[in-house]
A = this chain, B = another copy of it.
Amino acid sequence: MDIDALNAFLVSEFPQVADDFEIESLETMRLRVRLRTRPAHLRPGGTVSGPTMFALADVAVYLAVLSLVGPKALAVTTNCAIDFMRKPAADLDLIADVEILKLGRSLAVGDVRLFGEGHEDRPVARASLTYSIP
C-alpha cells in the first residue's frame, strides 16, 4: 500500500481518529506519521497525554505493517513496551518515525521514536510494538 492507500484505509476503518494523523513519508520498512496536536490530546499543564502518545505509536506501526502486507484490518497489537522520556511541548505536532525490524509470517515487530516536530534529537518517547498478522 502506498501513502494514498494508507490514508484512505485510515479514513474508512478508523473514522474517529483519521483526522488526527497524517502519513508524511513511506519507504520500505520505514514510515513517518504526524499527529496534529489538538486540545483533546493534552493533559492539564499542556503536554500531550500518555494515551495519545501510545495511540500515535500504535497507529504508526500498524500503518507501516499494512504498507508491507496489505489492508488487513484484523492485524492486532499483542505487545507494547514504551519509554516516556521527556515532556512533549503542547504547541508542536508530534512526529512518529517507525522502522519495521521484523516481518515474519505471523508476527511483525516495529520500533518507533516520537518527537516534537523539529526536535528529532530529543525523543519524547520510544516504543516497540508487536503485531499479530492473521
The smallest C-beta distance from A116 to any residue of chain B, in angstroms, reads 15
Determine if A128 is an interface residue (Cβ-Cβ < 8 Å).
yes
Query: How far is A52 from B76 in the complex, measured between Cα atoms in Å?
Result: 14
Oligomeric state, in copies: 4
12 A-B residue pairs with CB within 8 Å: A14-B44, A50-B80, A54-B55, A77-B84, A79-B82, A79-B84, A79-B130, A83-B109, A85-B101, A106-B106, A109-B126, A111-B126
Which residues A78-126 have CB closer than 8 A to chain B?
Answer: 78-87, 101-102, 106-107, 109, 111, 113, 123, 126
Q: In the bound complex, do residue B16 and residue A40 qualify as a contact, i.e. CB atoms below 8 Å apart?
A: yes
Interface residues of A, count at CB 8 A: 37
Smallest CB gap from A108: residue in B: B85
Query: How far is A50 from B55 in the complex, measured between Cα atoms in Å?
Result: 8
Q: In the bound complex, do residue A81 and residue B128 qualify as a contact, i.e. CB atoms below 8 Å apart?
A: yes
Which residues A13-64 have CB closer than 8 A to chain B?
Answer: 13-14, 16, 40, 43-44, 50-52, 54-55, 58
Determine if A5 is an interface residue (Cβ-Cβ < 8 Å).
no
Contacts of A82 in B (CB 8 A): 79-81
Contacts of A7 in B (CB 8 A): none
The smallest C-beta distance from A95 to any residue of chain B, in angstroms, reads 15
